[in-house]
Amino acid sequence: ALRDHADEGAGFVVATHDPDVIAHADAAIHLRNGRVVSEAATQRGPARPATTAAPDAPVAVSANGVSKRYRRGSEVVHAVEDADLTLQRGQLSVLIGRSGSGKSTLLGLLAGWQRPDEGSVAYAAGASDPSRAPWHELAIVPQKFGLLMDLSVRENVALPLRLAGRSAGPVDPLLADLGLTELAERLPTEISIGQQQRVAVARALVVAPTVLLADEPASHQDEHWRNAVWTRISAAAQAGTACLAVTHEADVAGYAAAVWEMRDGHVTRMA
């Protein structure tokens, strides 16, 4: 629609890291470290490792016939309809679907943040109520990050270790891998939204969780950091975590051992 309006004579400036958007533009102004540089290149990152877990890897979580409806006055939204999904240890699964298809609601059901109207969610770890699972069993990257605004970047990342009563964990390697070392003493309000998102990813992985639920964990990343985020999540899967990542980036399926598609509340296993 912006392109159409531009063709009719309107002028737009769009701030983006999305090469698809750049492909629609008449001109690209490339910023790096706050400076305008003349190039408009978007270079593809390093080759991606696919996670290859054994098909008989133990099931960590399963959703069995879960449905969730939202009621607003007389209107009923069928956000999730009779969905079945299993997550296995050591696998990265991705859940792909358009905006509004029910992905975040399904994640909320798996996380125990929402209660299903029908069906059930079962955790192999034994926690019948996932909302009470500690972070080392169930770590989440919420769509809006959920960072604690009074804590520094480093303190946010280290928080699950504190809550688990652990003194040591891979805080520094995670900060380094996700480009946060130089920002470690800043508050979340003092870094960009993409950097905040990477703090949420680092925080989720610091305890090597049994299960990771990540809601569009690379949605604010450029090509380089998108690769870094998916590489780090793939590494967690290879180390044994059952990972589910919601995304609408279809190319992420290349990282995944299982691909689930969501359409109007219905879930189908694609690969």
CA distance 217 to 200: 8
3-state secondary structure of 212: strand
* Assigned token pair, 248: 């609408």
105 binds, among ligand ADP, Mg ion, none (CB under 5 to 8 A by kind): ligand ADP
Instruction: Give me the least distance between CB of 83 and ligand ADP, in Å please.
Output: 11
Phi, psi torsion values for 83, nearest 5 degrees: -95, 135
What distance in Å separates the CA atoms of residue 263 and residue 248, rounded to the nearest whole number?
12
Residue nearer to ligand ADP on the CB measure, 80 or 174: 80
CB-wise, 94 or 161, nearer to ligand ADP?
Answer: 94
Minimum distance from CB of 79 to ligand ADP (Å)? Answer: 4
Per-residue string for binding with Mg ion, 99-138, x by CB under 5 A?
A: ----xx----------------------------------
In whole angstroms, how close is the CB of 73 to ligand ADP at the nearest point? 10
Would you say 46 and 227 are in contact if contact means Cβ atoms under 8 Å apart? yes
CB of 100 to ligand ADP, least distance (A): 4
* All residues at 6 or more sequence positions from 101 whose CB lies less than 8 Å from its CB, including other chains: 262, 263, 264, 265
Least separation in angstroms between CB 19 and ligand ADP: 22
Nearer to ligand ADP (CB atom), residue 103 or residue 203: 103
Residue ranges that bind ligand ADP, judged by CB under 6 A: 70, 72, 77, 79, 97, 99-105
* Residue pair 62/86 in contact by the 8 Å Cβ criterion: yes
CB-wise, 58 or 100, nearer to Mg ion? Answer: 100
Q: What is the CA radius of gyration of the chain?
A: 20
CA 60 to chain centre: 18
The entry of Mg ion, ligand ADP, none near residue 12 (CB within 5 to 8 angstroms by kind) is none
Q: How far apart are the C-alpha atoms of 237 and 244, rounded to whole Å?
A: 9
Cβ nearer to ligand ADP, comparing 44 with 144: 144
Q: Min. distance of Cβ 216 from Mg ion in angstroms?
A: 6
Q: Is 233 within 8 Å of 195 (Cβ atoms)? A: no
Q: Which does 74 bind (CB under 5 to 8 A by kind): ligand ADP, Mg ion, none?
A: none
30: CB partners within 8 A, 6+ apart: 36, 37, 38, 39, 40, 41
Cα(186)–Cα(166) distance, integer angstroms: 23
Choose from ligand ADP, Mg ion, none: what does 93 bind? Cβ within 5-8 Å by kind: none
Compare residues 263 and 269 and give the one whose CB is closer to ligand ADP: 263
Catalog residues that contact Mg ion under the rule CB under 5 A.
103-104
